[in-house]
Amino acid sequence: MSLHDQPSFSERDPYSCALTTVTAAQIFQRLRLRFYFLEFYRPFREDHNSIQLKMVASVSDALQGTIFERERAFIELPANVQEEAKSLFAYFISSEGKTELTKHCGSKKCKTGSFQTIKGSAFLSLVEASLKRGDDTEPKSETSAALSPTPEEIKQLAYALVFCGLLTPYKENESPIGPFSFDTELYVVVISLSAENEEGMSVWRVKEGAIQAGFLKRKGSGIFSNLRGSKKAYVIVNETQKLLGIFESDHALKTQSVIQFTAESWVEFDSNIANAIKVHNKDDSEVLIASSKEKAEEWLNACINAGAQYREAFTKNIDEVTSFYELSDFDMEHKEISMSNYKGKVLLIVNVSSMCGLTPANYTDLVALDEKYRDQGLQVLAFPCNQFANQEPGTHEEIMEFVKQYKCTFPFFEKADVNGAKARPVFMYLKAKLPGSFGNFVKWNFTKFLVDRDGKPHKRYAPKDPPLSFEDEIKTLLAAETEKVEKASTTADETVVDSNKEAKTAEKPDTTEDTQVNTAGDEAKQEESTDEEGGG
């Protein structure tokens, strides 16, 4: 941490002194005291193994702000300091510990409400007393003074308790991890803040279960919103609590707004503001503006993961499309290709990327399907997209060079979006016809769509569904079309046979009329013969 007045968190036992000043017996005695300390607080850790005590091994880069910087700092502490801090944390959130803590606390009023506070010096004394737990039954000796925790050790543990969220400075520093002045500063007891009252929900209350956190611009609401513009706000999306919380700062003690995600909540890209998303439920609506298109996509994706449904804001023109074959896209040479070129084929349409963990398996399967069923009418179409964690960053030339290793011979279209205002029409149409579990939203790379030979969207498959896993479905579509063609051919043959029969019937002479004509002719000849004979 390299802060000038911050205690040294060296990898040593917090009860040890310099080895030159203690004997082996004293070191052994210190280890015994630490054992008694941990044993004393063990029941509190077992009884209060709540979500607040779950310390992770690392903190995602998607989580920014004071509380997460402190969590990262806590993870960097020596293991023994972490263990003791967890033990004391468990104790102070117990009824017994809260009672003891409250004895040293006062109340402070400010614009955000009234909160329980404690002087830093009083807290250090409380920590010192806590470190001596288990020592009460030990016989006193001439080494007792040497065995007492040092001021540095006390301050180490005080820092650790700030890092893990027991309390926070009433006046925050520029640096979230200190230095802290326990001699003069006042601290807010975070665990005293109301958990039930939304007005008292601090950033610490939504830390556990958070999947996205950071600063965004918040567009004002009401008739004067355009005049007021947007203000910086700290935002947390919490998957466990299924909410989006908006705060004035990253150490705020209460929320400005909370959107609880329910079945009626939805999120979409804002069509009027660059890099903005709209988040709605039946009671509230927020417009949040990110620093870039990629960041906006991250926040939208986080809202979906936390329970919001995705709504495509740009479906009006797509609703007017009556057939898949009306659509077109551009290939890697920027040539416009109509989907009508693929009439009569079963289409497997995939948004692809080069740097995804799913890339090798998916390309291998796609090539296998292409080689096996292309002659039977299957057509694989690949659509590169860089919307998911920037995993398709290359140029068109670089993408085509990359896929050579998989021996891809199916068509590739130019790199473009599959979600948002600039989403390619093919995917806009397929998403509308085959919505997934997140609504009209492509969740990740290698989402797959099957389209039958009539251009009808047939089925959608998730990114983790290997292409070969639905090979039977492809065979069914191909076979069904073959049967259809054979049936049509048989019907056509029967029609031709019937037509030939009618034609032959029409061409055959009418024997009745011929007989009648011939009979009449014979009678006439007979009469002529009789006349001739009679005349003779």
Q: Is the dihedral of CA 509, 513, 516, 520 positive or negative?
A: negative
Instruction: Tell me whether residue 360 is in a domain.
Output: yes
Instruction: Tell me whether residue 60 is in a domain.
Output: yes
Here the tokens at position 204 are 């610490």
> Can you list the alpha helix ranges (DSSP code H) found in 51-170?
66-75, 79-92, 95-102, 120-131, 144-147, 151-163
**Residue where the block lists tokens 């397929």:** 430
Q: Which member of 105, 164, 303, 356 is catalytic?
A: 356
Bond prior to 7 in cis (omega within 30° of 0) = no
Here the tokens at position 500 are 């030939």
If one compares 437 and 279, the residue with the highest pLDDT of the two is 279
Domain that holds residue 420: 316-478
* Mean pLDDT of all residues in 452-464: 95
Q: Are residue 187 and residue 214 in the same domain, yes or no?
A: no
Q: Residues near 413 by Cβ (< 8 Å), separated by ≥ 6?
A: 329, 330, 331, 332, 337, 381, 382, 383, 384, 424
Q: Residues near 173 by Cβ (< 8 Å), separated by ≥ 6?
A: 179, 180
Instruction: Tell me whether residue 98 is in a domain.
Output: yes
pLDDT on residue 42: 56
Q: Are residue 352 and residue 300 in the same domain, yes or no?
A: no
pLDDT for 153-198, tens place per residue?
A: 888 889 999 998 999 999 888 889 889 989 889 999 987 765 444 4
Count of residues making up the chain: 536
Least confident stretch, 82-96, 199-213, 420-434, 508-522: 508-522
Here the tokens at position 171 are 């006046």
Using CA atoms, how far apart are residues 116 and 138, in angstroms rounded to an integer? Answer: 35
Here the tokens at position 33 are 């005291």
As beta bridge partners, residue 380 has 348
SS3 readout for 429-454: HHHHHCCECCECCCCCCCCEEEECCC
Instruction: Tell me whether residue 363 is in a domain.
Output: yes
Q: Are residue 272 and residue 384 in the same domain, yes or no?
A: no
Instruction: Tell me whether residue 13 is in a domain.
Output: no
Given a cut of 60, is residue 526 above it in pLDDT?
A: no
**Tally of CA atoms within 13 A in the half-sphere of 521 that contains its CB:** 6
Given a cut of 60, is residue 484 above it in pLDDT?
A: no
356 is a catalytic site residue: yes
Q: Are residue 208 and residue 302 in the same domain, yes or no?
A: yes
Q: Are residue 187 and residue 277 in the same domain, yes or no?
A: no
pLDDT on residue 133: 65
Given a cut of 50, is residue 532 above it in pLDDT?
A: no
Q: Are residue 327 and residue 285 in the same domain, yes or no?
A: no
* Percent residues over pLDDT 70 in the chain: 71
- Please name the helix (run of DSSP H) or strand (run of DSSP E) that holds residue 381, with its range, or none: strand 378-384
Cα end-to-end distance, the chain, whole Å = 151
Least confident stretch, 28-42, 94-108, 380-394: 28-42
pLDDT on residue 37: 52
- With cut-offs at 50, 70 and 90, classify the pLDDT of residue 56: low
pLDDT for 129-159, tens place per residue?
A: 877 765 554 555 544 444 567 788 888 889 9
Q: In CATH, what number is assigned to the domain containing residue 362?
A: 3.40.30.10
Q: Are residue 292 and residue 216 in the same domain, yes or no?
A: yes
Q: What angle do CA 298, 301, 303 make, to 5 degrees?
A: 110
pLDDT on residue 16: 39
Residue 265 is classified by DSSP as -
Using CA atoms, how far apart are residues 530 and 290, in angstroms rounded to an integer? Answer: 119
Q: 390: alpha, beta or left, given left = phi > 0 and alpha = psi -120 to 50? A: left
Helices 151-163 and 66-75, axial angle in degrees (round to 10): 130
Give the domain-ending residue among 310, 344, 375: 310
Q: Are residue 368 and residue 328 in the same domain, yes or no?
A: yes
Q: Are residue 184 and residue 158 in the same domain, yes or no?
A: yes
Regarding pTM above 0.85, the answer is no
Number of domains in the chain: 3
Q: In CATH, what number is assigned to the domain containing residue 268?
A: 2.30.29.30
Question: Given the DSSP bridges, would you call strands 309-310 and 266-269 parallel, antiparallel or unpaired?
Answer: parallel
Using CA atoms, how far apart are residues 160 and 6, in angstroms rounded to an integer? Answer: 12
pLDDT on residue 483: 55
Give the domain-ending residue among 478, 497, 518: 478
The answer to whether the CB of 338 falls within 8 A of the CB of 325 is yes
What is the residue-averaged pLDDT of the chain?
79
Here the tokens at position 16 are 């040890």
As beta bridge partners, residue 106 has 117
pLDDT on residue 349: 98
Q: Are residue 335 and residue 353 in the same domain, yes or no?
A: yes
Q: Is the dihedral of CA 22, 27, 28, 29 positive or negative?
A: positive
* Percent residues over pLDDT 90 in the chain: 46
Instruction: Tell me whether residue 134 is in a domain.
Output: yes
pLDDT on residue 365: 98
Q: How many CB atoms lie within 10 A of CB 216?
A: 25
Here the tokens at position 471 are 């090979």
Give the domain-ending residue among 433, 452, 478: 478
pLDDT on residue 490: 55
pLDDT for 280-318, tens place per residue?
A: 987 788 999 999 999 999 999 999 999 998 877 655 467
- Please name the helix (run of DSSP H) or strand (run of DSSP E) that holds residue 512, with its range, or none: helix 511-535
Q: Please state, in angstroms and as integers, the Cα–Cα distance from residue 277 to each residue in 128, 174, 491, 499, 536, following that order.
A: 49, 29, 56, 65, 121
- Among residues 174, 177, 155, 160, the alpha carbon closest in space to that of 67 is found at 177
pLDDT on residue 507: 52
- Among residues 379, 390, 435, the alpha carbon closest in space to that of 415 is found at 390
Q: By three-state DSSP, how is residue 107 classified? A: strand
- With cut-offs at 50, 70 and 90, classify the pLDDT of residue 221: low
Q: Are residue 320 and residue 450 in the same domain, yes or no?
A: yes
pLDDT on residue 64: 96
Q: Are residue 268 and residue 393 in the same domain, yes or no?
A: no
pLDDT for 335-392, tens place per residue?
A: 999 999 999 999 999 999 999 999 999 999 999 999 999 999 999 999 999 999 899 9
* Mean pLDDT of all residues in 324-340: 94
Instruction: Tell me whether residue 96 is in a domain.
Output: yes
330 phi/psi in degrees, rounded to 5: -110, 135
